Amino acid sequence: MKINTALILCAGYGKRLNPLTLVEPKPLLKVNGITLLENCINLIKSLGIKKIILNTFYLKEKIESFVEIKKFDLDIKIINDGKKILNTGGGILNMMNSSNDSSFLILNPDTLWNQGYLKKIKEMEDFYFTNQIKNILLLVNKNLSFDEKLKGDFNLLKNKIKKEIQNDLIYTGCQIMNKDLFDSYSVSDFSIAEVWNQLVIKNELYGYESVESFYHLTNFKIYKELLKNN
């Protein structure tokens, strides 16, 4: 991988997974005996990326303690959102500001990442650098989702993302973004969807389609079903 640093979003409240997340941050929930966070870190390590920045807010001490105890053989920096949770866009920008890099792999640990994603993520990165673009999202057809109630977010035409009345592709929780996209933003409470929507309007939001089955911890019910099936 040409990208040196991965960002992991770990600050959220995980309210849809209550009551579990009343006492445990969502990234530390386990599937197959491994936490979502460690599973995500393992994927990053397999990609050859050695620097990780993750953000915290809710139950931050538990995530900090987990990372310290595990002693991952990686350069992991923990950035706290501050006095107020920043939402996805603000959280990403806050993490980017702590690095000198310009391009970042960004992952949501809610997805059950596996080694099957390695090839597609590497292909996605190659497309990103070859075409000299500023962003690219990894998408999957909603028919491959374990949670059959998930609706599509986007459509894709020649790697350009569209938002239409009927959308068939789901955002997996993996993307590559260049810090330049945030030039007009400050670290504050805003969603990454705001950045995406502006790019869609300009026909400059890019996507790459995965063919992996998609397992995502949507809510408490889906989490229990995943435990039964994994």
What's the pLDDT at 196?
97
Confidence of residue 229 (pLDDT cuts 50, 70, 90): confident
Mean pLDDT of 177-205: 96
Residue type, 196: W
pLDDT above 70 as % of the chain: 100
> Is the confidence at residue 230, as pLDDT, over 80?
no
Q: What is the DSSP letter of 111?
A: B
Mean pLDDT of 24-46: 96
> Is the confidence at residue 193, as pLDDT, over 90?
yes
What's the pLDDT at 31?
95
CA distance 78 to 67: 9
Alpha carbon separation from 139 to 47, 156, 170, 175, 208 (Å, rounded)? 18, 9, 5, 9, 6
What's the pLDDT at 228?
87
What's the pLDDT at 5?
98
What's the pLDDT at 180?
97
H helices, E strands: number in the chain: 6, 11
CA distance 79 to 56: 6
What's the pLDDT at 157?
95
Mean pLDDT of the chain, nearest integer: 96
